[in-house]
Amino acid sequence: MSTRTKVTITIPTDILERIERERLRNHESRSAFFSRAAESVLRPRDRRSAVDQYLRGYQEQPETDEEQLLGIESARAVFAQEAWE
């Protein structure tokens, strides 16, 4: 379970009013609303970072010809076991 930390923020009143309407419509606390909003910003960035890291690793150490051949042979073996009707 993650720990929780209290924070104080300042936002424009009109934005707070919109947030209040939205969170009340969804029956959630302010904390839940702001956590959900932060996740919606952070999750795509985390995913992009992970993909970028994967691509960098692949570019630095690409598959060898032997590894590619093994992948193709494995795929053929799996597909050969399928009933293609």
Q: How far apart are CA 56 and CA 44, in angstroms?
A: 18
CA atoms within 13 A on the CB side of 84: 4
Mean of pLDDT over the chain: 92
Tokens for 29? 């606390």
Higher pLDDT: 56 or 85? It is 56
Identify the band that residue 83 occupies on the pLDDT scale cut at 50, 70 and 90: confident
pLDDT of amino acid 1: 63
Residue 85 has pLDDT above 80, yes or no: no
- pLDDT tens string 31-71: 999 999 999 999 989 889 988 899 999 899 999 999 999 99
Tokens for 34? 């702001």
Contacts of 8 (CB under 8 A, 6+ apart): none
Q: How far apart are CA 15 and CA 79, in angstroms?
A: 55
- Number of continuous H segments (helices) and E segments (strands) in the chain: 3, 0
